[in-house]
Amino acid sequence: MHSDKVTPDDIKEFLSRCREDVDALNLLQERMEAVESKTGLHASTLTGMPGNPNVSTDRIGAAVAQLIPLQQAVQEAEIQVQERQARTLAIIDLLRQNRVKNWPQKTTALVMRYVDCCDWQTITFSLFGTLEKYPDNPDTYLRRAQGLHRAALCELAEFVTADKLDDDYV
C-alpha cells in the first residue's frame, strides 16, 4: 500500500493473510502428526525380544529430533494465528462500530470467510439457510452472500487507514 487510501482489494489482501496463517498452521500440524506417527514404539522394542535395537532406536531418535523443532514451530504459528485473528476481527468490527447497513450479515460473512475459513456454501447457508425460499434458490443466495462480502470490503475501505493494515501495526 503506497498511499493512505485503502482499496477493497487491500482489505481483502489483509483479511486473506488470516486464512493463509491458518492454512500454514494446519500444514505444520499435519507434518508434526506424520513425524509423531514415526515415533511409535513397537512391541519388540518394549519387550526386549530379539531385533536390531540400533535401527529402531536411531529411527525413533531421528524422528524425535525432528519433532522438537516442529512442536516449537507449531506453537509459534498458533500464537501468530491468534494475533492475526485478533487484528482481523478488530478490522471487521469496524462495520459494527460504524453501524453500516446489514452489518451483522456482513460481519458474519467476513468472519466466516477469513477467520473460520469457511467455503461459500457454508457461509451462504449460515446467512440464509433458514429462509423459506433458500432451498429453491441456493445460487441466488450465494450471489447475495458474495454481494454482502463485496459491499463489506468496500465499506471497510472507507474506515480503515493503510497503517492499520501494516504487519507492524499493533
pLDDT in tens, 66-118: 788 888 999 999 999 999 999 999 999 999 999 989 999 999 999 999 999 99
pLDDT (0 to 100) of residue 66 = 78
pLDDT (0 to 100) of residue 42 = 34
Q: Tell me: pLDDT of 20 over 60.
A: yes
pLDDT band at 41 (very low <50, low <70, confident <90, very high): very low
pLDDT (0 to 100) of residue 162 = 74
**Percentage of the chain exceeding pLDDT 90:** 64
Query: Which pTM was predicted?
Result: 0.77
- Residues 59-67: contacts with CB under 8 Å, at least 24 apart: 63/35, 63/36, 63/38, 63/39, 64/39, 66/35, 67/32, 67/35, 67/36, 67/39
Task: Pick left, alpha or beta for residue 120 (phi over 0 → left; psi -120 to 50 → alpha; otherwise beta).
Answer: alpha
Q: What is the mean pLDDT of residues 35-39?
A: 76
The more confidently predicted of residues 153 and 52 is: 153
User: Over the chain, what is the mean pLDDT?
Assistant: 84
Q: What is the mean pLDDT of residues 141-166?
A: 90
pLDDT (0 to 100) of residue 169 = 45
pLDDT (0 to 100) of residue 88 = 94
The more confidently predicted of residues 162 and 105 is: 105
Any idea which of 24-33, 41-50, 123-132 has the lowest mean pLDDT?
Answer: 41-50
Residues 6+ apart with CB under 8 A from 147: none
Q: Tell me: pLDDT of 27 over 90.
A: yes
Contact between 153 and 11 (Cβ < 8 Å): yes
**Percentage of the chain exceeding pLDDT 70:** 81
